[in-house]
Structure 1
Amino acid sequence: MSCNNDLHHQHSRLVSRFCSALMAVVAMQISTVTLAENVRMYSNVPSADEMASQLFPTATQRTKRPKTRSISFDPIETATAPTPPAVESVGIGLPIQFNYNSAEITNASRPYVDELGKMLSRDDLRSEKIVIEGHTDASGSAQYNQQLSMRRADAIKQYLFYKYGIEQDRLVISGKGEYSPLSGQDPYAAVNRRVEIHQFQQ
């Protein structure tokens, strides 16, 4: 009986170690995807149109199509043209700063959020949604940083709602804390204190 119990315990330990190792591998893969994600960082305020071209390239291309006169021709058999590949959305990183240890947007950073509000107010983008991601550096505790990044993302959401009337269901917030530093950067570097905007994917 004791032999069977020993075998059972050994099996349980092996299963536990395997599961732990598997979870570690998955976590590494997720981290790699996060760091490798296509994000364009800005150091100056981009215009609403520039933001739109990065986040919603397909929608902005539709609005740029030239108008043509309606002329009918007899049908001619031609080879079907291949469908052009979908243009990938690029996330944008904005150095939006907040007052120390708070979720209050500084006056110097408000132009970034104002251009974001102008973009979301465009007629051709009124059905589009975005994800607002708050990020911090690694200073302080991980739990506090995660909560602070969520509060700061929510502050931008409320600013867009109250100043520009952007419906709140178009603004999805996420607090990443210190867990997604920019690739190649020291986790404690100030550049990691940022806000990323992404196209909301269903």
Structure 2
Amino acid sequence: MSRLIHFGLHRREACGVLIAALCVVGLVRTAYAGEPVMKEQDINQQSVTNALAPTEASDAIVTRGFVLSNKQPGVAPRPGAPAKRPAAQMLITFATNSSELTDSARTALDKVALALQSDRLAPYKFRVEGHADPRGSPDANMKLSEDRAAAVVEYLTQKDGIAPERLSSVGKGSSEPLNTRNPAAPENRRVTIVTVTD
């Protein structure tokens, strides 16, 4: 009996380690807001495509030799719904207190455009959200975040040829910080691209 319990704990620990490893390499996608923010040098077509492509929720658990399912025999499956709202959070850089894109931001956005033009993402529309840290007045932060989101949309449509009807922009000001412990953290000044699935 003690061997069986000991073995079960090792299996559980091994599963935990495997899930953690899969999360690190991006094979398991979390459904919470703690997803990593991509830095400009880490942005590439594949990472953006994977982050923005909707996935279907599944009622089945696939294991190594069999499938566990909660579906009743003879009952039609319900249509799949997205497991989470697909989004890519990116540190797109701008000139200080400005909506002017830096050279590295333009390079990163060129890669974002390749992803948006890919077969997996071509059918979708996207919302570009600008975020600011809480330094400065709320009105100034809102205006800056709106201007930065609009600058990203303008670059993607005018420079990279994304159809304007596929993109919209919105400013969030400092209302959705990722790092509440450090208000000035760079991840609080980010651009989020959200796939519009409704």
Number of equivalences: 149
For the pair 1:52 / 2:53, whether they are aligned, the reply is no
Which ranges of structure 1 fall in alignment gaps of 5 or more residues?
1-35, 60-77
Shift of 1:153: 0.4
Normalised TM-score (structure 1): 0.64
Shift of 1:90: 3.6
CA deviations 1:33-56 (Å, max 9, x no partner) are xxx536431134222122111211
The amino acid of 1:200's aligned partner reads V
Which ranges of structure 2 fall in alignment gaps of 5 or more residues?
1-31, 57-72
Q: Is the 8 A contact 2:49 2:120 kept in 1?
A: no
CA distance in structure 2 between the aligned counterparts of 1:56 and 1:188, rounded to whole angstroms: 30
CA RMSD of aligned residues (A): 2.4
Shift of 1:126: 2.0
CA distance in structure 1 between the aligned counterparts of 2:197 and 2:98, rounded to whole angstroms: 29
Normalised TM-score (structure 2): 0.66
CA deviations 1:7-54 (Å, max 9, x no partner) are xxxxxxxxxxxxxxxxxxxxxxxxxxxxx5364311342221221112
Q: 1:82 to 1:175 in 2, by over 3 A?
A: same
Q: Report matched runs for 1:126-165 at 5 Å.
A: 126-165=122-161
Q: Is the 8 A contact 1:38 1:90 kept in 2?
A: no
Which is helix-richer, 1 or 2? 1
Shift of 1:186: 2.0
The amino acid of 1:194's aligned partner reads R
The amino acid of 1:54's aligned partner reads A
Q: Aligned to 1:125, what secondary structure does the other structure show? A: coil
**Bigger Rg, structure 1 or 2:** 1
